[in-house]
Amino acid sequence: MKLLKKTIIFTLLIQIFFVKIPQAKLLSFQSEYDISLGKSDAPRLPNKTYVDKASGYLLIDWINNCEKSWITTQRMMTRFINSHGVGTVSEINYSLNELTNEDKMEFVLEIKEDAEIVDRHYGTAEKNEKVIVKFLQKDKILEFSKDVIFPHRFLEEIIKNFDSEKKMIVRNVYEGTIPDKVFNISVFLTEEIVSVDKTILPKGVENKFRKIRMAYYQDKQQTPVFEQTVHLNNQGIASFFKYDYPDYSLELNLKKLNLTPLDCKR
């Protein structure tokens, strides 16, 4: 269960890289990523369980709903094998409908472990003087300060600072992957540009991905929950993710990308 919770943290954070960007046209698409265990040179301590293997996939549909909202559905399946040879399969299904004016988002999160549902959340987050989060299946209401932003605004600020003199920005972000928590995220912008095999990318997708490093904090702790590296182009598409946890790392590499534009003229 501990391993599953770590996995949950990064799953839908991925969706922050697929929202509307004012400086470039965002593309509606379907994408697929291969998941593998990242390399680690850290020494292993005796009597402690580690992850020896990880494999799986992430599927994402991201659609511009005719400029009204951005709708995404995501499914991630990951199989872990620990140092005792014990396997665990986790599956996370997530859907999000976020208004383009940033006032509201609705999300559904379902988590399975070895095919059994272990958690499910139906929630809404609205931003006025404060950010108010409500859940359909329970009476609990959460309040966060007005400086908390949603994924749409967060990505806008990252892209906007690609060519600025700033090397770091810090924002408080609510995205629903950990329903009762806000992430304090430090974003480190680099000058490094990478590309991928051009046969993976459909026509019109820019093959210039900026390398970005981010650290995710919670509850005013001094140590990040995890760190993330992402290769992101200015159309909001990521070709690579790496998630570094204290005990292991996961890498996600883009395998397939199909454009799926929506006909809004009807």
User: Distance between CA atoms of 63 and 69, rounded to whole angstroms?
Assistant: 9
User: Distance between CA atoms of 104 and 251, rounded to whole angstroms?
Assistant: 31
Does residue 19 register a pLDDT over 60? no
Look at 9-13, 31-35, 217-221 and tell me which has the smallest mean pLDDT: 9-13
3-class DSSP assignment, residue 222: coil
Does residue 3 register a pLDDT over 80? no
pLDDT value, residue 21: 42
More confident residue, 155 or 176: 176
Dig out the tokens for 218 from the structure.
Answer: 């919670």
pLDDT value, residue 2: 52
pLDDT tens digits, residue range 120-140? 999 999 998 999 999 988 888
Does residue 264 register a pLDDT over 90? no
* Exposure string for 194-233, b = 16+ CB within 10 A, e = fewer: eebeeeebeeebeeebbbbbbbbbeeeeeebbbbbbbbbb
Does residue 165 register a pLDDT over 70? yes
> Which residue in this structure is represented by tokens 């200015």?
234
Average pLDDT over residues 74-96: 94
Structural domain boundaries in the chain: 2-259
pLDDT value, residue 22: 44
Task: Kindly state the percentage of the chain with pLDDT values over 70.
Answer: 91
